[in-house]
Structure 1
């Protein structure tokens, strides 16, 4: 490489071929992060982009230059959390070798993804790339949009071919749960952009408004066909949040009756969609009867052997209902036993419970990322982690309400979406953690931009 930057006026820009590689590799990562059996490819793409970004971003970020692009407080909290994770693994882990291997494979790798996001976003905001921040974000969004669109097209094709819509299935990703992460993320992109345009007349991404409406329809259809309760709850929660946000902003500037009518119309649609989802999933019907059975983990120990007790009608409980509740209680008991943590491990739940129940059938996760994380890193680790999410959420809302920037609202949606799913799904690990930290750092940089209109 004979020349890292080329001068254009007063701006030294990245050579075009390197810019194309950076953006295309980042988009490829967004597409393959959730694909099964592609860990090697994900790591290769991450390494390629990281090592290209370092020499390009170094002149921009060195000597404290990064402070112009990245808020200091989230970084300080992240460093504190990392130090606590290392100390906890060093002092309290029964197997330090495994814990530090997990730290390297999970936490450090996600940190590298975050660093790549910081550098890529800083190059764009610093005008070293020809693509604006809005265009970069659009490319990333289109990468995940293609996944959801492939699923919807496949569902419609099977419907036409067989005459039946195959609910609860997907042939695009490894599982429907993983695809719901992508669906909810894509819906957040679309909702944030539409809210910016509707509430503040701010056009960020260079695409027509009708496209984002279409994206919303694609996501809602995907959520319905996937038939995952947590994914559907996430979709409905986002729609409700947008309705309340609309009411909050417009309550004084517009006719209250009109605003209330529009909000009620949207909420009625959300209620209808939720009702259809409820009726389509038989697990809801037995949930109330399952709760006391599953919570009595001493009287009903079938969860140890991955077997299921019977309901009053003689049918077995739903495995998902039973295990989530039973494992949540056992996870809470484990946290009470060792509130300081047992050392970093994505399988901390299974490792900790195996010591108490040696005959426990192989179980790695508790169905809750927050509980798994707390078992590993203790209550201090949980407090620091929530503090990190909170300051990022605050940064997003401040950017949205103060600067009217859709990218700030997207940051808030990404944080709340990830945290919400971590309560009921094991997502603070593997590709889900990497993708989250990458997007978090990208959006922290983009949310600091004053001008949120695409030029």
Structure 2
């Protein structure tokens, strides 16, 4: 039986939604392979049947071409510059192959949504799986304990901090894209159901980050909400003669939600916020303080400028990032491993260390893996997407812009280029680039 294009689009979208649920779960690699295979195969057929998106060449292809050039650089790196060819080859056969399948899958998704727009709501809703499940788990724990549970005392989450941060940021970017498009660009303040859904989505993300107790998750979600408020406030100020009451009310509600979550987070999270800048100042002094070479749980904490010991989490991550930047300057072409480049380059440089993980800064880790050329390709892709999306602000383009705006700061403070998170990052970048490609060519009009 021959499948119709609509059926293929439904299969592709369903595989993406299922994958978004299990992508970051451990011990699900067989299921991930199955869903990636289904999404990739359906994506290939959708690409074949919609060749006009790719031929002839047009400027909208540039972000996708840039992203695909990353795979070419990986091949060149393996052949000529790898510092650990066996390890790099094993990742090319596994992680990079899955990442490429994700690119095809993302292309198919963008085509599906462009041609059958009602599939978009299922994809957007699936982005909220992680925060919704976190909140459900927290509510269940509260029910079992007969009351509210302090976040740091509740550790039985299906998804932990990095998952909460990652998908919270992506979900927030989608909700904010919808609100910006309909309230600021379209000035459509009558779609109360959509506005309510996206506002509640932001609240869910904020609460999920709060109950998990993730500093990165709260920081990214709060920052994106602040960006939304600023954009809506600018829109309101430009039209003072006809104030959009819905936008004004939404601004106030978002501010209240952010303020409440931030206050609660500071009273329930582990220490660190009040001394973070002082701890960072110590962390960057890697030649003076060598505790970053020791284990996180067995070190004598240096004293910060406030006269108190640094908070370990803030100190170590800052110090590792500083060391990582220095290593990139010394090895500008990278080591050749997504998962082991920091440790590999420390060994290559004969630097003693106990830590066996990553820097915990996604972009620095990626720079350690594939050097300045790799970073240049990634950031060129994101910047071109942002520029082209703003130039033609259709809804799908605004999604693309907001995904990149979320990924850029998240990659500074979170490990978004590690194992399956790297695959997800490439998928979302490919989806963003594909949205630019598949969007209409006419300019946006108010």
TM range (shorter): 0.7 to 0.9
Matches within 5 A, 1:161-240: 161-162=144-145, 163-168=147-152, 169-199=154-184, 200-201=186-187, 208-240=194-226
**Secondary structure of 2:416's match?**
coil
Q: Which residue of 2 aligns with 1:8?
A: none
Partners of 2:325 and 2:361 in 1: CA distance: 11
Partners of 2:9 and 2:65 in 1: CA distance: 30
Partners of 1:156 and 1:4 in 2: CA distance: 43
Q: 1:205 to 1:409 in 2, by over 3 A?
A: farther
Q: Which of 252, 255, 265 is the matching residue for 1:277?
A: 265
Gaps of 5+ in 2: none
Q: Which of 118, 121, 135 is the matching residue for 1:152?
A: 135
Partners of 1:205 and 1:366 in 2: CA distance: 44
Q: Which of 103, 119, 123 is the matching residue for 1:136?
A: 119
Q: Is the 8 A contact 1:203 1:452 kept in 2?
A: no
Query: Per-residue deviation at 1:365?
Result: 0.7
Q: 1:49 to 1:384 in 2, by over 3 A?
A: closer
TM-score by length of 1: 0.84
Q: Which residue of 1 aligns with 2:49?
A: 59
CA offsets, 1:115-138, max 9 Å, x none?
A: 11112322443x4xxxx23x2221
Tell me whether 1:37 sits opposite 2:22 in the alignment.
Answer: no
Partners of 1:271 and 1:206 in 2: CA distance: 24
Q: CA RMSD in A?
A: 3.3
Q: 1:363 to 1:209 in 2, by over 3 A?
A: same
Partners of 2:190 and 2:169 in 1: CA distance: 20
Q: 1:241 to 1:140 in 2, by over 3 A?
A: same
Q: 1:344 to 1:147 in 2, by over 3 A?
A: closer
Query: Per-residue deviation at 1:268?
Result: 6.6
Q: 1:66 to 1:111 in 2, by over 3 A?
A: farther
Q: Which residue of 1 aligns with 2:358?
A: 365
Partners of 1:19 and 1:342 in 2: CA distance: 39
Query: Per-residue deviation at 1:367?
Result: 1.0
Q: Which residue of 2 aligns with 1:326?
A: 319
Q: 1:29 to 1:415 in 2, by over 3 A?
A: same
Query: Per-residue deviation at 1:153?
Result: 2.0
Query: Per-residue deviation at 1:46?
Result: 0.3
Q: Which of 83, 92, 104 is the matching residue for 2:81?
A: 92
Query: Per-residue deviation at 1:225?
Result: 1.2
Q: 1:36 to 1:355 in 2, by over 3 A?
A: same
Query: Per-residue deviation at 1:43?
Result: 1.3
**Secondary structure of 2:149's match?**
coil
Partners of 2:189 and 2:340 in 1: CA distance: 43
Partners of 2:254 and 2:375 in 1: CA distance: 35
TM-score by length of 2: 0.85
Q: 1:386 to 1:175 in 2, by over 3 A?
A: same
Deviates more, 1:218-227 or 1:50-59: 50-59
Partners of 1:65 and 1:382 in 2: CA distance: 28
Q: Which residue of 2 aligns with 1:436?
A: 425
Deviates more, 1:407-416 or 1:439-448: 439-448
Q: Which of 23, 46, 54 is the matching residue for 2:13?
A: 23
Query: Per-residue deviation at 1:410?
Result: 1.8
Q: 1:288 to 1:426 in 2, by over 3 A?
A: same
